[in-house]
Structure formats: C-alpha cells, structure tokens
Amino acid sequence: FAEVMVYYHINKLNKYLQERVGLKTAAEPLQAITNFMFKIENFGRQFCGRPDDWCPFDNAAFIPKQSVAQLEQQLGGAKTGITGDALLFFQGNNIDFTYDSPVIRHEYTHALVGISRLNGNFPDDQGLNNTATAVNEAYADYFAATTDNDPKIGSYAIGSLNPAQVRDLSKLRTCPEDL
C-alpha cells in the first residue's frame, strides 16, 4: 500500500503541475523509497526496543544525490542503494508516513525545487536570512494543500506525534513573526 500511495500522489501532483504551470518531465528518474528503517547492529534492540535491530523513524525527506554519501555515513556505512535524488518515506514507530498524502506531495515539491534553488541561509544586514528556505517550505506546503483542497499538512502522520506541529495554511501568518 505504501508504494501505491507514493506512486499515485506523486503522479497526481506531477499532472497538476504539468497542466497548471507547464512542468516538464525530469531528465533523471526520482527514486521513492517507502518503509525505510535503520538497522543498527547489536544496538538496535537497546536503542529502538525491537528484537531485530531495525529502527523506525518518524519522518519523510527529500534526499538530493549530493547528500547520499552523508546519509550512508550516518547509517554506519550501510549502503542504501540510492543512486540519485530520492524521496525517503520512513516507517515510523506507530505511523507510516506514506499514509499521509500531503506529506508525499510536500516532499515531492522539494524534489522539484531541487537543491540549487531556494535553499540555504545567507547573511544580510539584519543577520542570518533564511527567506529562500522558507519559500521552499511554503511552496511544498502550498502544492500539497492545493492538490488535496485541504489546508492542513501532516494531519495524520505529524498530528499523531504532535498535533501542534500540523501545518494549517488556513491560519493567517505574517512575516517576520512566522518565518
């Protein structure tokens, strides 16, 4: 079911963007990995409370190909099989993040924006400016919400962990308070 959800919602957003903003097909395929977990040999039982050393993680993420080596290093040198840009949908402790369709579309939007646009912080005369990253997050939330006609992002997955962290685009936000 996880693979079907990811396939369906990526294609739904892709079609929406092709029809509304003229999105062109990507030059490289995008890997989407579902039910991703970490295996920590001889430590997973203690750390994750599971008898098989596999550790769930409550999250989903766009991983650019430039970050794969860093991810594999954080996994203790384990090879992920990721060869390019990828979407990772983790199997959480109690929730599968692929069951929350806005989360899928949010992460896919990050992949479309990529790492060369709207990323990073830079210093300006007011201090550290994170406007580009905030706009990247805003696009990801906007397209996730509009393709579902639902202003809430992460109600199922994030709401089960911490309801206060669910993003609700129907609430008025202002800058710089809500940046």
Beta strand 167-168 with 152-153 is: antiparallel
Report mean pLDDT in 10-residue bins for the chain, 179 residues.
94 91 80 85 71 82 88 78 89 87 94 74 79 85 90 90 90 79
pLDDT in tens, 99-135: 999 999 999 999 988 766 666 677 888 888 777 788 8
Encoding tokens for residue 17? 């963007």
Give CA separation, 3 vs 50, 74, 148, in Å.
24, 25, 19
pLDDT at res. 62? 92
Token output for 100: 């929350």
The predicted structure's pLDDT at residue 145: 93
Whole-structure pTM value: 0.85
Quick one: which H or E segment has residue 39?
Answer: strand 38-39
